[in-house]
Structure formats: C-alpha cells, structure tokens
Amino acid sequence: MNDRLISLPHYSRIIGCRIHRTVWQAMFGVCVACCSLLSAQAATEFHVQEIRLEGLQRISAGTVFNYLPIKNGDLFDSKASKKAIEALFKTGLFNDIRLEQEGDILIIRMLERPAISKITFNGNKELDTEELNKSLKTIGFAEGRVFDRSLLERVELELQRLYFSRGHYAARLTSTVTPQSRNRVNIQIDISEGKPATIHQINLVGNEAFGDGVLLDEFELSPSSLFSFFSSADQYSKQKLTADLENLRAFYLDRGYLNFSIDSTQVSITPNKQDIYLTINLTEGKKYTVADVKILGNLILPEADLQKKLQIKPGDVFSRKQITASTEALTEALGDEGYAFANINTLPEPKVAGGDELVLSFFVDPGQRVYVRRINFEGNSKTRDEVLRREMRQMEGGWASTAKIKRSRTRLERLRFFDEVTVETPAVPDIADQIDVNYTVVERPSGNFLAGIGYSQTQGMLFNTSVTQDNFLGSGKRVSVAFNNSQVNTVYSFNYLDPYYTIDGISQSVGLYYRQTDAEQANLSRYALDAFGGSLTYGIPISENNSVFLGLEPEHLQVKTTGNSAKEIFDYIDKYGDTFNTVKLTASWSHDTRDRAIFPESGMLQSLGAEVAVPIGDNLEYYKLNGKIAWYYPVFKNYVLMLDTEVGYGESYGNTDFPFFENYTAGGPRSVRGFRENTLGPRDSNGNPLGGGFKLVGGAEFFLPMPFVKESRSVRLSAFVDIGNVYRTQSDFDANTLRYSTGVSAIWLSPLGALSFSLAQPLNDEEGDDTQIFQFTLGGNF
C-alpha cells in the first residue's frame, strides 16, 4: 500500500514553519484556519490504531502524549488534525510539526526547539552573576529551559531595565547564541555597563517654609561632591528616590503640614548619559496645630487613663509620627486587657473651616476580648519545658496580655540559655476569641569543658581547666568546677546555683573555694594572701524586676609578707596578726529591667549591696557598701548608649582598722581603661598601689554593630569615655583628681569565653601614673 500524506506539502510548511512565538501568537488564528481548509481538502478520515512519534531528542514521548488530544481508536479527520497541531504548538516545545499517515498509523514528525545548555555573562560588575540569573528566572529564562528567541529579546530588555534602575543609562548588551550538540545552545551575554550617571543637581520647587538645604538633608541621594566616592550618594537609583520622597513626605507630615503633596518628579539626563537633573515639584499646604484630642468609641478603659497614653496633646503641632506612637500606645494598653485585635483609627478634622487648627479623634474598636488557649515552646531540645514555663507571666486560659507576653519573652532571653527568642500569637482556627502563644528558642551551648594555657597582661601565663554547665541536664541549674592558675591567682572552686530552689522563685547558691593571691603580680603592694571558705546565698524576688539577696560567707585568711613588703603591711600584721577567721553577712538589692542579660539594648540594672564582718573570730570588724547603676538606651537599631556609675565605700567599726586586703582598686579593662589594672589611688610607703576605702568610677559607652556583620549577637564595638579613681577614705575625695580616658573597644563572645580588647588614651594622667594604651581580658560580666 502506498503511503499517503494527510496534509499537502505546502500544508506541512505552513504548520511547520519556524515562527517566533510573538509572530505565532499574532498569526495563530489565520494559520489554523488555513490548515483546517487545506486539511479538509486533502485529509482522509480513518481510525487511529497506532501513533508513532519521530524527531524527539530531549522531550519524552509521555510529555507529547500528555498534550496530544488524539488517542488510539479515535477518529482522525480535519478537526482532529487542527486540534493536534494547535495543542502541540501551544506547548512552545517545537519549531516544526508534520502529520503523516501510514495505513492506520498516525505519524507525528516534530522538530524540537533547542534547550539552553549554558548562560554566561561577561563584563558585569555592578550586578553579580547570581543576581542576574535570579532576575532572568522570573521570566522563565534559565539553563535547562527551552530556548525561545523572542524570550531572549525580553531578557535583554529586562537586563537593560535593571541597569537603568542602578543609574547605568549607557549600558549596552549583546547576545550571542551558539548551537551545541544534542539540540542545545549556549547563550553568552556581553555587557558594557558604562559609567553610572551621577546626580548633578536636585531642584526643589514649591518649598517656602524650609530651605533646600534642610530638606535635602533628609535625602539619601545628593549631587556629586568630594565625598561621593565613599558613599555613592550621587548615583541615581529609582528605589532610593522613592525612599527619599517618602522621607520628604514624613518630614512635612511630622511638622504640621497635613496637606503636603509631591505634585511631580522629573528625571532628566544629558545627551551623553552622564549627568542627571532631578526636579521635585511640591505643595506644602498649611501648617496645622492640634486644638483638641478626643478618644471615641468603646473605650474599655477610663478615658483619663487612655489620654495619658497619648503622645500628642492639644497645642502641639500636628505630627504623623506622634499620632502613630499614640495609636501604638493605645493598642498596647487595650492589648494588656486582652483585646489583642483592637483597631484604632485617627481622623483629623479642621476645628473651623479654612482654619489652621485641627481636632484629632481616635476611634477605638476593641473587638472581642481574646483568651490564650495554649502556650507552646519549640526549639528547646535540651532545656526542659518546665524551665521555660516557669518564666511565663502570661497564663493559659487567661486573657491575652500584650505586656505579659512580651515580659515572658524577656525573661526567657535573660536566662542566658538561648541565642534568640521569638514569639507568635496565631488565632485558633474557627474560634474568634482565642489565640495560641508560640515561643521559638534557639539554644546556645550551655555546658563547656575548658582546659588550656593562655596569657593575660596582668596575670601573665594562665593555666585553667573548668567544667561548667549553665543548664545542668536541662534543669536550669548551674554547676561549675574550676581550677585556674596564674601569676596572680591559684583558685580551686565549686559553685552550684538553683534559680528555683522553691516554687516561688527563691534561688539558692552554694560555693566553696580555695584561693592563693600574689598581690604584687596584680600591680599591688607586696604581699600574698591565702584564703579558703564558702558561701550560701538566697535570692528572694520581691517583684517582677526587684530581688533581694541574703548570704553567709565564712572565710579563713592568712597574710604572707616578704622582706620588701611595705611598712603599712607590717604595721597591720604587728597589730592584728596574720591569720583571720571571719564570718561575713551579705545583703543586696537588684533592680533589673534590661531586655537581655548579654549585650542588652534597653533597660536598667541597679544594685545596692552590703557586707559586714561580724565581731566573732579574730577581731576583723568592718563593713563595705556598694552601689552600681547601668542604663542602656537604644539610640536606633543596634546602636546603644550605656551610662554607668559604681561607688564603693569600706570602713571599720569597733576597735580595728579597715583591712588593707579589702581595699578597693581601680584602673584597667573593667574600670578606667588606659591605666594599668589596679594602679589608681593611694600608694604604700614603697610607692606601690595599695588601694583605698572609697571608689568612684563611671563612664559612657556607645555600642555599635560590627561592620559587614549582619545581626551578630556575638561581636560588639564601642567608643567610650571612662572616669574614676580610688581614695584612702571618703573624706579624701577630690573631683580634681579623677582620671579620665577615652578610646574604642571590641567584645567578642568567642567559643573560649568573652574576649574584650580596648585602645584607650588617658586624658589627664599625671606623673607616677601607670598607663597602658592597649588592654585585653578573657571573661567578664555584661
């Protein structure tokens, strides 16, 4: 039997011609109509018993059959031919399709479109290759995809748009398509970025209340200057301009110009595409003040209480920023009462038509009171659920309080067990008045074993070994056994802390130690001190942020001298002996509102403490009073100002003198940087630092994040000013003798412990002072 073509030769050419997708879309209807007509004239109807596919290289037969509307046993005629060709061309996978008949067999000959084997870019510097590939994927152009030349034209336009948005108006792109084996192509895009166009001038039209200089200070973009090389502020970007216009709008709205508007923005570029001129036309409108502030709606709370929450008051200049802050404060106040989905709208209305005074109305819609169904924890693979749950101030079954939920998160962050704590409050499905509170924690290693050799500026060579578990077996208890050896100290210690000794939150701390100290190696007077003892301390929470600590510390001390010890040392030993058995009673109060214990960004830590050597044992009768305050204020995100002051006062009572080995010292990384550790204050008869009974130190420190390190909670930089000194007694205090220093510091929470480095310059050091510009420490309190 002779083979017969289902479609005439010119029919195959019509449906099989290599037509660009855009042309195909325009001519598709005409093509199909012509095909149908020709097919109707030449096609013979038959029942398909077999379908044979020819010409496939990459595309599987299953893919073709999935799109093909004809199956075995179907009647093939002109309509079926039209549908088959239409369906296969719509896939975009083929350049040419021919239908042939061989008896009852339908043969489909196909010419596949090539696949993109590789895409390479040359000459791109402003945009990296990964960013370019990501952008092209959004329009379906990527390695492994079917190559479509019309899509390549779209790619060129998309890339040009990207460069234009970065100010590269002279950018040129050239694409080269190279055929490869197995019906593939390589695409190379050569890019000539050209120099970015820079802003030559920014013109503001319509501003009368504020000068150009004041307004342009709100812009990130700026005309070219000597410093533009460092900031790139003169390189035009559409995104930056949009942000600058929003900053300009916020500037006016925060200063009373309620009807401020930006009428138009023109961006002009010189013929050489190097200089850009920006013209911004604006209308300032009238400046408004607030005549009255009303709170309307279902208030829930007394109006007087809500009025206190408002940041904007009658007589103030209208400010969108203050209105937003007032809305947030009202929302939080209602959230504390369980109305987690309260809605507050603000409506400013002129007091008198045409006047410049407004009446602000806050409309309150509290919605339903919301209750907490469950509190869930995630991420605590080591820490027991009960350790987290006992920090909760929001209870299950109670109404949802915004303040309690936040406070619970803060308490978790202050446990020192977690690097990060986040909280979400999703609504319970199909229940309008219930939410779940989900806390997600990222645990930090809570236990460590350290054994090593190190070096400290003050203590020299160090050998230390310790086993510490801050979260022992996930119970929240702290256990530590340590041995440390240096030129200054040899210490053996054991410490145990149970933060919830009772269910009420009373903590218990037990410690034992043996310590040998060489004061001379610590830059002090020449003597040595051996001590062993213990401590038992209970912490009693008296409110959410306040705690009282009461303790008992028995201690045995022995003072050792050398032939070069100072006269003051010998006189004290001759008078009171060199061995002392003391019992100290300790009491302290702490007020802590910090957001976290390590690297806090807001809040305050205050403490007052006292220790008294009771008149039993070997006649040591003295007391010490200590006070400290540290205040943290977030200037803006990740930039924190810290102010701190510490005062210490010691005095004897009864018939004994204040022991010299209890003297306060100052100078060094933990007090006044830039001066050698422990060297400030009174000196003994040999000219060595001895310390004194009164200490005053303080300072200001501005913390900032490490450049090029995003959201790091392990590294922090700072600039600081330190002040302080030590005096023999309080009556010797003289403000003119306080020492000052300034410098920069870095703190790194390394796997081996907290490392701090500082470069400090003393500002008023005097002859005889021991200065030290560079200092570092391993370990410390935050």
On the question of pLDDT at 598 being above 70, the answer is yes
Identify the pLDDT of residue 451: 43
Identify the pLDDT of residue 782: 41
Residues 72 and 123 in one domain: no
Identify the pLDDT of residue 189: 87
Residues 622 and 735 in one domain: yes
Query: Strands (DSSP E) along 90-222, which ranges?
Result: 94-102, 105-112, 115-122, 172-180, 184-192, 198-205
On the question of pLDDT at 724 being above 50, the answer is yes
Backbone angles phi and psi of 662, in degrees to 5: -105, 5
Dihedral-angle region of residue 564 (phi above 0 means left; psi in -120 to 50 means alpha; beta otherwise): alpha
Residues 159 and 98 in one domain: no
Share of the chain above pLDDT 90, in %: 45
Spell out the alpha helix ranges (H) of 698-741: none
**Taking residues 460-479, what's their average pLDDT?**
71
Q: Which residue has the tokens 């595409």?
A: 273
675 touches 771 (CB < 8 A): yes
- Domain contains 405: yes
Share of the chain above pLDDT 70, in %: 88
Residues 259 and 307 in one domain: no
Nearest to 451 by CA among 469, 462, 468, 465: 465
Weakest-pLDDT range from 48-62, 75-89, 163-177: 163-177
> Which of 236, 255, 283 is the endpoint of a domain?
283
The CA dihedral of 67, 69, 74, 78, to the nearest 10 degrees, is -130
Strands 289-297 and 357-365: parallel
| CA–CA distance, 708 with 70 (Å, rounded to integer) | 61
> Which of the four pLDDT bands, split at 50, 70 and 90, describes residue 40?
very low
Identify the pLDDT of residue 2: 36
Q: Give the three-state DSSP class for 534.
A: strand
**Taking residues 170-190, what's their average pLDDT?**
84
DSSP per-residue codes, 409-473: HHHHHTTSSEEEEEEE-PBPTT-TTEEEEEEEEEEPP-EEEEEEEEEETTTEEEEEEEEEETTGG
- Domain contains 351: yes
Weakest-pLDDT range from 119-128, 228-237, 297-306: 228-237
**Taking residues 527-539, what's their average pLDDT?**
94
The structure's pTM equals 0.61
Residues 155 and 252 in one domain: no
Identify the pLDDT of residue 113: 82
Q: Which residue has the tokens 């930089």?
A: 717
Nearest to 628 by CA among 612, 644, 610: 644
Mean pLDDT of the chain: 84
Nearest to 730 by CA among 693, 683, 698: 693
Hey, which residues does 418 pair with through a beta bridge? 443
Backbone angles phi and psi of 550, in degrees to 5: -125, 135
Domain of 235?
198-283
Identify the pLDDT of residue 450: 47
Residues 350 and 376 in one domain: no
- Domain contains 1: no
Identify the pLDDT of residue 668: 87
> Which of 177, 192, 207 is the endpoint of a domain?
192
Hey, which residues does 108 pair with through a beta bridge? 53, 99
628 touches 617 (CB < 8 A): no
Contacts for 601 with CB less than 8 Å, ≥ 6 apart? 595, 632, 634, 638, 640
On the question of pLDDT at 238 being above 90, the answer is no
Which DSSP state fits 303? H
Residue 450 is encoded by which pair of tokens?
């350290």
Residues 378 and 359 in one domain: no
> Which of the four pLDDT bands, split at 50, 70 and 90, describes residue 366?
very high
| CA–CA distance, 513 with 470 (Å, rounded to integer) | 19
> Which of the four pLDDT bands, split at 50, 70 and 90, describes residue 230?
low
Identify the pLDDT of residue 665: 93
- Domain contains 4: no
Identify the pLDDT of residue 27: 45
Which DSSP state fits 348? E
Residues 730 and 715 in one domain: yes
H-helix or E-strand containing 269? Answer: strand 261-269
On the question of pLDDT at 678 being above 60, the answer is yes
Which DSSP state fits 771? B
| CA–CA distance, 249 with 242 (Å, rounded to integer) | 11
CATH number at residue 166: 3.10.20.310
For the chain, how far is it from start to end, CA to CA, in angstroms? 95
**Taking residues 287-305, what's their average pLDDT?**
93
Residues 180 and 315 in one domain: no
How many domains does the chain contain in total?
6
**Taking residues 563-584, what's their average pLDDT?**
90
On the question of pLDDT at 632 being above 90, the answer is yes
Hey, which residues does 472 pair with through a beta bridge? none
Query: Strands (DSSP E) along 620-682, which ranges?
Result: 622-636, 639-652
**Taking residues 683-697, what's their average pLDDT?**
93
**Taking residues 344-369, what's their average pLDDT?**
92
| CA–CA distance, 180 with 148 (Å, rounded to integer) | 15
Angstrom CA distances, 492 to 328, 532, 650, 662, 779, stand at: 53, 9, 27, 20, 17
> Which of 338, 365, 392 is the endpoint of a domain?
365
Which DSSP state fits 544? S
Question: Number of H helices and number of E strands within the chain?
Answer: 14, 33
- Domain contains 377: yes
Spell out the alpha helix ranges (H) of 168-253: 212-216, 228-231, 238-253
**Taking residues 705-726, what's their average pLDDT?**
82
- Domain contains 325: yes
Q: Which residue has the tokens 């001298």?
A: 561
Identify the pLDDT of residue 617: 61
> Which of the four pLDDT bands, split at 50, 70 and 90, describes residue 231?
low
Residues 641 and 732 in one domain: yes
Residues 234 and 148 in one domain: no
On the question of pLDDT at 29 being above 70, the answer is no
| CA–CA distance, 145 with 133 (Å, rounded to integer) | 13
Angstrom CA distances, 300 to 250, 332, 340, 590, stand at: 32, 13, 13, 35
Weakest-pLDDT range from 432-441, 461-470, 650-659, 670-679: 461-470
Identify the pLDDT of residue 466: 61
pLDDT tens string 151-167: 788 788 878 887 777 77
191 touches 119 (CB < 8 A): no
- Domain contains 584: yes
- Domain contains 2: no
Give residue 509's identity as a one-letter amino acid code: S
Backbone angles phi and psi of 527, in degrees to 5: -160, 165
Hey, which residues does 102 pair with through a beta bridge? 105
**Taking residues 449-475, what's their average pLDDT?**
57
On the question of pLDDT at 731 being above 70, the answer is yes
Residues 463 and 491 in one domain: yes
The CA dihedral of 610, 613, 615, 620, to the nearest 10 degrees, is -140
CATH number at residue 503: 2.40.160.50
